[in-house]
Chain A
Amino acid sequence: MTIPRIVGAGLIVIGVGVGIGRIGGQAMEAIARQPEAYGKIQTAMLIVAALIEGIGFAALFATAEA
């Protein structure tokens, strides 16, 4: 648990959080603009969130120790 690993893991989580938070926020705005497209927007939001999460997890596993 060296300091660079901890700092790296924290930065990764910040990046993932900002990314998924932004996409969630814009999805909320889009639903508010057009409530009948709720299903499609929700699907697209989940897909993008899973993509961002995938990168985040891969990076987190790289910072973990043996």
Chain B
Amino acid sequence: MAKILFLLALMTSLTGFGKEANAEVAEEGKDIKTEIDAYIQHHLKDAHDFNLFSYTDGEGNKKHVGFPLPVILWDEGLHFFSSSKFHHGETLAQSGDKYYKLYHSKIYRTDAEGTINYDEEHHPTNVKPLDFSMTKSVVMIIFTGLLMFWLFRSLARSYTKNDGIATGAGRFFEPVILYIRDDIARSNIGEKRYQKYMPFLLTIFFFIWFLNMFGLTPFGVNVTGNIAITTALAVLTFLITNFTGTKDYWKHLFDPLGDSMPWYGKLPLYVILIPIELLGLFIKPFSLLIRLYANMQAGHIVIMSLIGLMFIFKNWIGSPLSFGLAFAISLIEILVALLQAYIFTMLSALYFGFASEEHEHAEAH
């Protein structure tokens, strides 16, 4: 324990050396705060090339270490080229007779000079082609999918080979899977129907958990902090809830009072009640997506801001303190990664449970 504390103290104090390295950056005239701001914004967004890191070498050239990804656009025809044509946003890419410019991680169609027309709020008004590119997030999703496939296939195979006992790395996942089956699925959905929903719940749990964890690594992939991806997951929950809903589910939605009142008594109530129920139908998955997106995005912003704070404080007290704080917040983010995956899965199971309710209270109606 004392050795760990000593190592931690040593690491945090070494960040005080950063002040010499950054002296040249400040003299360039660029305010370091705007530079950090731009750096953070760039890292929160998706990118069309897998840029591991970039550095400035001795002559002042910016060098990037990474590899470009294919750009696939649909703009009156299919355009397919490598994102190295963009040169990290410095040049235009020409495909056929159309020119494209990469501006803040989005691709716009421009003319040969690369003009971008802005409106009053400084948002570009150029035409955007339909972008089906393989961006960093897509690569991460495919990688996570393959990782999950390999991991759980080997777990399943180890069951058949070892007569019901798991071996290898899959042993770590067995209690997690059992927890999802017993405490999340069975208690929310009920004994009769929980088997149908198990594949989706398991997939969503491990998918979100692994993606959240990959977002914390230095590769800089912010997948679940992308509102498009969380929207897709929430839409899946929404579709599954409504397409596997029993008749009682829809009955409770549109006719909650049932036979207890005559129709002329129910009508004024339903004028208010049914819009609220319909609104609730959409707000429940919407809160799922907002919760996951905001938690992940805010976590990344906080960690990167604290690391940036390390470069603003160029003395021996501020930098190590900021590093220590960033380190502590990173540990909390590891907990939040697991917690958000658990919450998403649990609430999805809860909504599935609502959708598959049976008509138990026969006498009350």
Contact = CB atoms under 8 A, between A and B. Distances in A.
A54 to B, nearest CB: 3
Given A46-B339, A50-B339, A66-B121, A57 B346 contact: no
Q: Which of A54, A58, A61 has most B Cβ within 10 Å?
A: A54
Nearest to A43: B183
Given A57-B298, A66-B121, A47 B346 contact: yes
Interface residues of A, number: 13
Contacts of B342: 46
B294 A50 contact: no
Interface size on B, as a range, is 10 to 19
Contact of A58 (B290, B340, B346): B290
A58 B343 contact: no
Contacts of A61: 290, 294
B181 to A, nearest CB: 15
Given A51-B291, A54-B291, 12 more contacts: A47-B346, A50-B291, A50-B339, A50-B343, A51-B287, A54-B287, A55-B287, A57-B291, A57-B295, A58-B294, A60-B294, A60-B298
A6 to B, nearest CB: 17
A60 to B, nearest CB: 7
Contacts of A66: 121
Contacts of A60: 294, 298
B287 A58 contact: yes
A50 B346 CA distance: 11
Contacts of B287: 51, 54-55, 58
A54 B292 CA distance: 8
Given A47-B343, A47-B346, A53 B121 contact: no
Contact of B294 (A43, A47, A51, A57): A57
A50 B337 CA distance: 12
A54 B343 CA distance: 10
Contacts of A54: 287, 290-291, 294-295
A57 to B, nearest CB: 3
Interface in A17-66: 43, 46-47, 50-51, 53-55, 57-58, 60-61, 66
Interface in B334-365: 339-340, 342-343, 346
A27 B256 CA distance: 33
Nearest to A40: B183
Contacts of B340: 50
